[in-house]
Chains A and B, each alone.
Chain A
């Protein structure tokens, strides 16, 4: 049952992502990407990690993609015209990068003995995630939050109206 669901979700994810990167209209692309995030969230839930599933929806689908929509609507982006020039110039770097990434992933999967093992049924309680984050990985969490703080300060500096002396 859950294997069948996995393949259905995987198909939805791949199809939605493919549609996302081929749309000319940015708003349509965002909607397809949100659909893909949804499938990913349900997949996390099936794996026994409900907290990750919830964050996938709240953070990615509910906040980041909404910000994308906001920017698209603010700038009034129209559907893109086909750019000029031969196709390989536009697609070449993309194909090269993603195929090398794909090859690395496949090599990892075939070399790692754990990759062929079936994942047993387990359930990750939200409390366990919290304990791990603020116990074992407390330092990493603090470092990452510092990074976010830097980004916030940077954004504030960029967005600050210029004072008279700076002009």
Chain B
């Protein structure tokens, strides 16, 4: 009983820590994105509130909470209300399987630095990312507006298509680690990160995950100069805020996934593992912000054609080649 209580407390502490750190990181990623984009466009970005604009996220939250929570007439009320929560929830749940550092020993107990090291960790992340489609689609459909519906349809087709190449790009990673568990995938990269072993898979993964998470340049579901704001056109107040924060939590999830699958997770010289892990996540997040500042948006049909006709065949070929090489090496 005592043992059970201790492990329960441990899990709750880990959950609380992750919750706090991730939400704070998401809030400051918004600020970082605005400031970096500002600099890239030769302006300052938010710098009025607090030193260097550091209290801006807090003000944004207060503004979003105090705004009117508006539900359009003839909207499907319940689905409209719960869709934004679904987006934020699927993004937050992803952190349950992400390992932050190797197991630590504290008071004679070995504590794994992950909430739950599932044997199907990779598939769990994959399942959550396929459920993230529902937030977009249901939110757009329930709004009962043309622009929202168009955005939702675009989001659906795009996320469904790029999920395939995303999954295929991860097959070589699983082949190397011989496991779906994220901890074991990281352990398998203690000498060489997967990025160097599977460069093609890495490139396919990065393109697919950009499209999967609807980040610019692949943000057609909310392309503001074509369809107003896409699937979240009709949302206001904190419900829009949930979509927004979900997107930035997702950015951290992408950073964590890229780090775990391709950049070697917590492995790195000199510094403590957690520092390496968070540093790699922030670096990937910076890459995505950079891409947003410098890439034009392709057309919607171009995106889908590229996914089906280029990325998926390429990823399949990569799987076959990697499999053949592994077979030849093991005899």
Contact = CB atoms under 8 A, between A and B. Distances in A.
Interface stretch (B9-17, B119-127, B221-229, B245-253): B119-127
A85 B163 CA distance: 45
Contacts of A127: 178-179
B138 A54 contact: no
Given A27-B141, A73-B153, A50 B134 contact: no
Interface in B125-153: 126-127, 130-131, 133-134, 137-138, 141, 149, 152-153
A20 B127 CA distance: 22
A66 B123 contact: no
| B: interface residue count bin | 20 to 34
A113 B141 CA distance: 50
Contact of A31 (B124, B138, B157, B163): B138
A73 B138 contact: no
Contacts of B79: 27-28, 31
Contact of A74 (B134, B153, B160, B163): B153
Nearest to A67: B160
Most A CB contacts (10 A, CB to CB) among B124, B127, B149, B179 go to: B127
Contact of A63 (B137, B153, B160, B179): B160
A49 to B, nearest CB: 10
Contacts of A29: none
Give the dominant DSSP class at A's interface. Answer: helix
B120 A57 contact: no
Contacts of B127: 54, 57-58, 61-62
Contact of A70 (B126, B153, B163): B153
A69 B137 contact: yes
B120 A34 contact: no
Contacts of A58: 123, 126-127, 130
Contacts of A62: 127, 130-131, 133, 163
B160 A50 contact: no
Interface in A23-79: 25, 27-28, 31, 34, 50-51, 53-55, 57-58, 61-63, 66-67, 69-70, 73-74
A73 B149 contact: yes
Interface in B101-135: 118-120, 123-124, 126-127, 130-131, 133-134
B127 to A, nearest CB: 4
Interface of A: 25, 27-28, 31, 34, 50-51, 53-55, 57-58, 61-63, 66-67, 69-70, 73-74, 125-127
Interface of B: 76, 79, 118-120, 123-124, 126-127, 130-131, 133-134, 137-138, 141, 149, 152-153, 156-157, 160, 163, 178-180
14 contacts: A25-B76, A27-B76, A27-B138, A34-B134, A50-B119, A50-B120, A62-B133, A63-B130, A63-B160, A66-B133, A126-B119, A126-B120, A126-B179, A127-B178
